[in-house]
Amino acid sequence: MGVAIRLNGVTKKFGTFAANINISLAVEEGTIHALVGENGAGKSTLTNIIYGMLRPTSGEIAIKGNAVRFSSPREAIDAGIGMVHQHFMLIPELTVAENIMLGNEECRLFSRIPLKRIRAQIEKDAEAFGLGINPDEKVAQLSVGRQQRVEILKLLFRNASIMIFDEPTAVLTPLETEQFFTTLRSMRDKGKTILLITHKLDEVLAVADTVSVMRKGELIGTLKAASATKPELARMMVGRSVLLKVDNPPSQPGKTLLSLRNIGFITPKGETMLDHLSLDLSAGEIYAIAGVEGNGQRELLQVIRGLAPAGSTLSGEATLGGCSLIGKTPREITRMGVSHIPENRLREGIILDYPVSSNLIFGRHQERSFHKGAGFDDAAIKSHNRMMIKEYDIRCSSPELQPISALSGGNQQKVVVAREFNRPGISLLILAHPTRGVDIGAIEMIHKKIIDARLQGVAILLLSSELEEIVALATRVGCLFKGSIRHEFSRDEVALKRANEHEFIKEIGLHIT
């Protein structure tokens, strides 16, 4: 086997900021090569250069021995390179086949699209790599894991021999992740080259052949995955030793704060998403909801936050400190002491075109501490933002000028976490996937903040697709399936089972699938 991708001295600058610095790297053909690093380390910039979305400031790139300088992704695709982005590039209203052939219809203008041949090719590729899917099914009806299969089939349809995956397991269930790894191994064994960007070091060690570590725009080193260890990779990524497990002292819960009784939720389309769901959450405890996405997590948050869409039918009782939440607006609920990290930061947590400084105070801009006379107190806001940027290690160059869209996904998440954890008077903290897309150093920091909040008496409702995170943090665990709590692990059960983490994760998995 030869070298599929060779980089020699690749540097990329945005003005005076260097995102990549003198990167030299060789990715061998027919291997799975993982690229890891902190948020903002330059991984996505580097892969965007390989894929033709960005041009390097200097340096050389060779694909299978041929020097290239792509000016667009189309040129990279023509050279046999494909990329699956962290946020899928699919059109929900179109079918699987229509999404796969989009931009590559294999016909002339005004000619009939050869759908029969395209479907046959999709079915052939799906069978070859264990990606069973109906070409005529609409993407909107597919789970996240099956949507990812569509993205992979798009690459196969375009005969990509080099495939780049950016955080591919961020929204997958453990079962979907295992299925995805099986697909990666199958593609590697059939000669495909895989470049995998991920923050999850356990996954790197499980599936990769080789791993390269980046830090602050530079390549720190490349190791064989078989001889690497998780602490070693974490230290290379962050530049210091990292606590891989959070210190979680025993729980001493207080009085019941949040109470849900027989909650029902029917969507405007008539779908039952919550069915007689009941739970209690006390001050000073973490109640974790485990479940495959689409089993009512979003609707549960909408009930608690006053965000149920018009036309929905709600039933049951939801109270916070004895006061009903039903019928209240999100602003009224926030004023009751509720802070919330949403499941989709791009849609609900930030405004991409606004600067980092504004995003750090959104929803808090009416607080008296940020005002002076009839206007804003710019000095107070700047002081607050500087403190948040330092405390949460938010990597940005100019918070007042830099739009948050220029930050990596993990640094965007840190902005949301910093804003929501520091609201005054929090009694209930709702966390939906709080560490999605962040690196191992940031996960350590966020987990410590969550435990600190619990120890200060805050009630915490945690929704996470990361079962390791649930096992590490939870006081109690509720297993959500088809809109109701199928099983609940008590405080004593969680404390006992946490000692055998892998078996506990398997047991939770049985209750949510």
Residues 182-201 have pLDDT tens digits of: 888 998 999 999 999 987 88
Full strand arrangement of the beta sheet holding 32-37: 81-84, 162-166, 193-197, 32-37, 210-215, 218-224
What is the C-alpha to C-alpha distance for residues 412 and 87, in angstroms, rounded to an integer?
A: 14
CA-to-CA separations, 93 to 98, 147, 346, 470, in angstroms, rounded: 10, 13, 21, 34
Average pLDDT, the chain: 88
pLDDT at position 105, please?
A: 56
Residue 141: DSSP 8-state:
G
What is the C-alpha to C-alpha distance for residues 9 and 20, in angstroms, rounded to an integer?
A: 9
Confidence of residue 391 (pLDDT cuts 50, 70, 90): very high
Is residue 403 classed as helix, strand or coil in its secondary structure? strand
Give the CATH fold of the 3-238 domain. Answer: Rossmann fold (3.40.50)
- Other beta carbons within 10 angstroms of residue 107's beta carbon come to 12
Q: Do 3-238 and 256-337+427-512 share a fold? A: yes
**Up-side HSE of residue 83: CA atoms within 13 Å toward CB?**
23
Please give the CATH number for the structural domain made up of 256-337+427-512. Answer: 3.40.50.300
What is the C-alpha to C-alpha distance for residues 485 and 474, in angstroms, rounded to an integer?
A: 16
pLDDT at position 148, please?
A: 81
With beta carbons less than 8 A apart as the criterion, state whether 169 and 203 touch: yes
Confidence of residue 104 (pLDDT cuts 50, 70, 90): low
Q: What is the pLDDT averaged over residues 103-130?
A: 71
**Up-side HSE of residue 85: CA atoms within 13 Å toward CB?**
10
Q: Encoding tokens for residue 352? A: 């991409």
Q: Encoding tokens for residue 210? A: 């080789």
Is residue 110 classed as helix, strand or coil in its secondary structure? coil
Whether residue 426 has pLDDT greater than 90: yes
What is the C-alpha to C-alpha distance for residues 250 and 244, in angstroms, rounded to an integer?
A: 19
What is the C-alpha to C-alpha distance for residues 329 and 308, in angstroms, rounded to an integer?
A: 10
pLDDT at position 470, please?
A: 93
Contacts of 480 (CB under 8 A, 6+ apart): 277, 289, 290, 291, 295, 296, 297, 300, 486, 512
Confidence of residue 107 (pLDDT cuts 50, 70, 90): low
Q: Where are the domains of the chain?
A: 3-238, 256-337+427-512, 354-424
Whether residue 1 has pLDDT greater than 80: no
Confidence of residue 390 (pLDDT cuts 50, 70, 90): very high
Whether residue 20 has pLDDT greater than 90: yes
Confidence of residue 128 (pLDDT cuts 50, 70, 90): confident
Of the two residues 441 and 22, the one the predictor is more confident about is 22
Lowest mean pLDDT among 94-103, 310-319, 323-332, 406-415: 94-103
Q: What is the pLDDT averaged over residues 344-356?
A: 89
With beta carbons less than 8 A apart as the criterion, state whether 43 and 34 touch: no
**Up-side HSE of residue 371: CA atoms within 13 Å toward CB?**
8
With beta carbons less than 8 A apart as the criterion, state whether 408 and 44 touch: yes
What is the C-alpha to C-alpha distance for residues 47 and 27, in angstroms, rounded to an integer?
A: 12
pLDDT at position 65, please?
A: 92
What is the C-alpha to C-alpha distance for residues 442 and 39, in angstroms, rounded to an integer?
A: 8
Between strands 313-320 and 371-372, the pairing is unpaired
Kind and range of the H or E element at 46? helix 43-50
Whether residue 509 has pLDDT greater than 80: yes
pTM of the model: 0.79
Lowest mean pLDDT among 93-107, 196-210, 377-391, 454-468: 93-107
